[in-house]
Structure 1
Amino acid sequence: MFEVHGVLDLIFWVLAIGAFALCVWALVHALRTPARAFAMAGKLSKRLWLLILGLATLFSFAAAVQYLSVLSIFTVASVIGSGIYLADVKPAVGEIGKGGGNNGPYGPW
């Protein structure tokens, strides 16, 4: 007999694992980025982003181990916070380390 709830539980568990991976990716990037890059890009401070992403990782981990529901407000907020970081902040702070300097189009002069 085909159980719908078993398939849906599996789908939601895979989504929770994906949300956890997204949050970990954002948190690791924020940890590796220098604090001055956030200020130079005009974004929130590194400390505040680490707090947001740390809580997001915690809540998404709780959903992945099925302590929280995947559809809970905390899990949804975790995905939104990590998505905002990866879509807006990561490209902005990534451009800070790159610069023209003394480089020509084919490398250093």
Structure 2
Amino acid sequence: MELVLLTEMWLFRVLGYVALGIELWAFIDCIQRKPASFEATFKRTKSFWLGLTAGAAAIGALTALFGGIGLFGLLQLAAIIAACVYLADVKPAVSEVQGSSGPYGPW
């Protein structure tokens, strides 16, 4: 029984670090995008997504430090969903608009 609890604890810790990596990836990618690209794709504003991904990364860091128990676990779930929505929906749309300035890339 003790081995099961230890395995579960390490599994949640590893998943927390994976989630933190995804959240940091979303935050760093959001920093690098131009604000006009967000508005051109009707995906809210850069400030909105920057705040959302920064909050997700902060929650991910707290969860990685203190574990995903109780309220932290619920907040971590919301944080990873926000980061995944950015990476799956907003990032491709913004990348398409930002990279379309010329036939071979930006001029």
Q: Shared fold (TM-score greater than 0.5)?
A: yes
Unaligned runs of 5+ in 1: none
Q: What is the distance in 1 between the residues matched to 2:101 and 2:94?
A: 16
Distance 1:100 1:30 in 2: 19
Residue 44 of structure 1: how far off its partner (Å)? 1.1
For residues 13 and 44 of structure 1, do their structure 2 counterparts lie closer, same or farther at Cα, with a shift above 3 Å needed?
Answer: same
Q: Which has the larger radius of gyration?
A: 1
Gaps of 5+ in 2: none
Secondary structure in 1 aligned to 2:66?
Answer: coil
Q: What is the number of equivalent residue pairs in this alignment?
A: 104
Whole-Å separation in 2 of the counterparts to 1:18 and 1:69: 16
Is the CA contact (8 Å cut-off) linking 2:12 and 2:68 kept in structure 1? no
1:48 aligns with 2:48: yes
Q: TM (normalized to structure 2)? A: 0.87
Residues 1-109 of structure 1: pairs in structure 2 closer than 5 A: 3-66=3-66, 68-69=68-69, 72-99=73-100, 101=102, 103=103
Measure, in 2, the Cα distance between the counterparts of 1:44 and 1:5. Answer: 43
Structure 2 residue matching 1:3: 3-state secondary structure: helix
Deviations 1:8-56 (A, max 9, x none): 0000000000010000000000000000000011101000111111110
Q: CA RMSD in A?
A: 2.1
Q: By how many angstroms is 1:99 displaced?
A: 2.2
Letter in 2 for 1:33: R
